[in-house]
Structure 1
Amino acid sequence: MYRLLMTQVFRRIDPELAHHLGFGLIRLVAALPGIGRLLRSRLAPTDPALRVHALGLDLPGPLGLAAGFDKDALGPDALTALGFGFVEVGTVTADPQPGNQRPRLFRLPADRALVNRMGFNNAGAAAASQRLRARPAGAAPVGVNIGKTKVVPEREAVSDYVASARQLADVAGYLVVNVSSPNTPGLRNLQAVEHLRPLLTAVRGALHRPGQRRVPLLVKIAPDLADPDVDAVADLALELGLDGIIATNTTIRRDGLRSPEAEVAALGAGGLSGSPLADRSLEVLRRLRARVGDRLVLVGVGGIETAEDAWERIQAGATLVQAYTGFIYGGPFWPRKINRGLLRLARESGHATLAEAIASSRARQD
């Protein structure tokens, strides 16, 4: 049914408008009396064999929704009701900003991919913090992804990230420093170790609140980093005592696509996500695992469409996996399908639980 809607209805609607309509419908349905509870009972991962402990959090499953879908923390609980074990909201900036000029989101159906140049459109850190603070007690953990405000010059980036971190420290299950989006001028320059070290050090300091829960800190990197730069970021993360790395963000590359070259070129600049990203994201994940071992939590994201894709990331060293484009193309029942598939694959490999399968994978790699 969803595939029919995707091919016959949504494809005729501007992708950004379709996103707002679809997300609005998810929130509306989940808010109806009794419906949210019913959705959660039918779709959310409830089998204890799927549970994962990572980043100091007990998660009902390893599959999370990547940043970019819920930029303003409008509906993380509606999304977890569909089957995501956790949701990462954002990217959030210290100040509200409209993002780049529309159109800024495009589909490549032949590649099951998206191109976006959204530009961190969001209502700002204070608004996100207020929404997250209003969630009911006991709600599923939410990660928060923070980025640089566009108008802030690169030399003031550290203070800008710190401002966001301070606003969000007490409501974030974990915090992610995003220095890898291609859609904010100069942002990727911050991945260079000489810029990244003071940035991460300052954010880590902003999250330190005596007597309060320690907020896990991760960094999200681009698939377009050269291998030596991936190693350098991994080494830095270990040096600074970070909790994890998310691999990877979108790519600026356009090679190997099925879509006609002229069609792709007409879309212009932006980050490519979805199936074409899978191979490089997996390469980066494996490289990180070889570099850091089990000293950091690795989150695999990029081109995950099937349970087998997610399982491959876990076997390659990821403790958690995330998706965005796979969800867009797969529909509202896609998270449940992935969770069931992961449980099946874990049991076919001779393990009673997914956590046991993850531990076994780590032991083999070590």
Structure 2
Amino acid sequence: MRDPRLVANSLHAPTQVNRLTTAPERFHRTLPGYAPTPLVDAPHAAARLGVGTVRVKDESGRLGMPSFKVLGASWATYRVLLRHLGATVDEIPTLDALAQRVQGSGLRLCAATDGNHGRAVARMAQLLGLDAAILVPADMVPERISAIEAEGATVEIVDGGYDDAIMRSAAMASDTTLVVSDTSWEGYVDPPSWVVDGYSTMIAEILDQYRTQGVPAPTVVAAQIGVGAFAAAVARGFADSDSTRLVGVEPTQADCMTTSIETGSVTTIPGPQLSIMAGLNCGTPSLIAWPDVSSGYDSFVTITDDQVADAMRLMADDGIVSGESGAAGLGGLLAHRNALGLTPSDSVLVISTEGATDLASYRAIVGSTAASEADAKEMVR
């Protein structure tokens, strides 16, 4: 494990980044409980960073789940099933219409996960009346496994890390077991590209909220990186903004994208990846996400578990329940604010991608008062 570091991106070429799609939003609006998640002011974070404003996109309650991942998983599941059925978006435009077509089909959804993506795929299977098989790494905490099982899925614990779970899911693919992965490998590219597209709904919400709230557009955006699907969507959303710097954030123990930037091509780092930022514990960047992430970001930073814990507590000071992976973006800016040259003229955007998905860990890190609020949110879900 290396020390925290900042790497300037020599591959930065924003004109090469793909543009944001608007196609998924119509489908997302047919999902039960759809509503834009809040973009909230974080004055304590702004004071610590020494910037003008910090806005946080709070994804702790997206579609009744504690993470943004359902946006990508739902759109990718929809597109995977449409392709299997030989149907178009116009022929089957809604969730209810899709459920009518696939119930009783004997199809099963399958995904590997560090937690939130797999739970979201399991939720989609439940809504559609399908079975789901979710593969998880051996170090996943019991609470995250139980949450996936509560969605009606069968969970298989794979001996190894996230990359091993990915290999196991790929081997399970068949005519009746459809894999919905958020990372790509040779010969498997469309579903992960649809996951990236699915996140466009969240980015569109952010851009609209900045406009309607009348606040300065962000000059700095921090995005946490696992395999890179989320980071690719962020890159697409801000590719046309010359005044916005993008900062990618990874754990020091799972710095596959930063290492790839340093080597100049997709690179696998040795495992296991054991950061508390479980959703970011990935050893290989997604081949689909790599072009957008490598072209779209000005710099990449890595952080320790202690540094993200500091960010979680600061989020709580601003009334935001943010889990270990959710607070990583802010953690990266806090840890490297001097090297990044943040100033009082900066308007900062961070995306809290998850709530407290491991309540015991959240209580230990943040404390009892904030943990009570996290408990209340989880009870609502």
Provide the TM-score with structure 2 as the length reference: 0.29
Q: Which has the higher contact order (CA 8 A, sep 6+)?
A: 2
Provide the TM-score with structure 1 as the length reference: 0.30
